[in-house]
Amino acid sequence: MSHTPKISRRAALASAAALPLAAATVGTSYAAAPITGAQMSPFQRLKVGGFDVTTLLAGTVPRDDPHSIFGLNVDKETFDSVSAAANLPTDKAQFFFTPTVVNTGGELVLFDTGLSGVGTVAALEAAGYTADQIDVVVLTHMHGDHIGGMTLEDGSPTFTNARYVTGRVEYDAWAAQDNDRFKSKVVPFAEKMTFLEDGGSVASGLTAMGAFGHTPGHMNYMVESEGTQIYLGADFANHYIWSLGHPDWEVKFDMDKPAAAAMRRKILDMLAADKVAFVGYHMPWPGVGYVETKDSGFTYVPHSYQLML
């Protein structure tokens, strides 16, 4: 009667560990894969009730000396300490630019147009859309990184079949200024624009919510379908630590800094209490997360799979 030899678990593991070393001695090699550097997918699509909500990476750039942008009212020691606790460098920050497309099933609605038409169209096409499919372009406010994609490099409209929506207060405030970018990117579309007040509707399920402070008429939008919501927060908080985590810190790009800070805290209180996901135009890509209260401030919790189910 033959007996099958028994091999202990320890011996089996030892044999398996030796296999890579044995394979390495055979002499077979493969061409090394090229080093390509950091890369990200240009879009992320989520399910909000019966809507598709797609964030677009229309651009990302590093910026030097983030303390010259965030935390203007705190000293370097405080800024550096908060940054170190969050494992963030203090010499550079990475900026993300994130327009959002909402497909309601009846209309394809683009919120903000990015830095350039080329960049936004490339992200749109990666997501399976084309510029001429956009039915509505909504401008949350008139800073250059939100209106830059209204036209292409030759000055022609990027979204040839779209109607346009923006807040009346925001448009009027910029129209009263002598701003060349506003004149070239927004004014040519004035006759095709619908102007909303706080609480106005872009389409069924897309509601304007005044968030003044970052700019005079800065507008956010609540997206709601079949009992599910996501808040399109534009620039109410421009960094997940230095702005959202510390809402009273002043931000260079906030035109009315006290009003922006008060509005930031108000919106964060709402998001934390209601447990609603939000899209932040400058949040870490892919730009979607939740808010939780923490001490006297808040903490950012990146979205995982809640809006994929």
The b/e string for 60-71 (b: 16+ C-beta within 10 A; e otherwise) is beeeeebbebbb
Instruction: Give the separation between CA 282 and CA 210, rounded to whole angstroms.
Output: 19
Q: What percent of the chain has pLDDT over 70?
A: 90
- Chain centroid to Cα 170, Å, comes to 21
Helix, strand, coil % in the chain, rounded to nearest 5: 30, 30, 45
Query: What's the confidence (pLDDT) of residue 90?
Result: 97
How large is the average pLDDT for residues 158-174? 98
Q: Which residues pair with 163 in a beta bridge?
A: 136
Specify the pairing of strand 108-111 against strand 59-64: unpaired
Range in 24-38, 40-54, 130-144, 226-240 the model is least confident about = 24-38
With H, G, I as helix, E, B as strand and everything else as coil, classify residue 235. Answer: coil
**Maximum C-alpha span of the chain:** 100
Tally of residues, the chain: 309
Per-residue pLDDT band for 295 (boundaries 50, 70, 90) equals confident
pLDDT above 70: residue 26: no
**What's the mean per-residue pLDDT of the chain?**
93
Express each pLDDT in 203-212 by its tens digit.
999 999 999 9
End-to-end alpha-carbon separation of the chain, Å? 58
At residue 296 the predicted structure's pLDDT band, cuts being 50, 70 and 90, is confident
Average pLDDT rounded to a whole number, residues 123-150:
98
C-alpha triplet 288, 239, 184: angle, nearest 5°: 90
* d(C-alpha 121, C-alpha 102), whole Å: 15
Across the range 62-82, mean pLDDT stands at 98
Question: What is the Cα–Cα distance from 139 to 219, expressed in whole angstroms?
Answer: 8
Section 84-107 average pLDDT: 98
pLDDT in tens, 183-207: 999 999 999 999 999 999 999 999 9
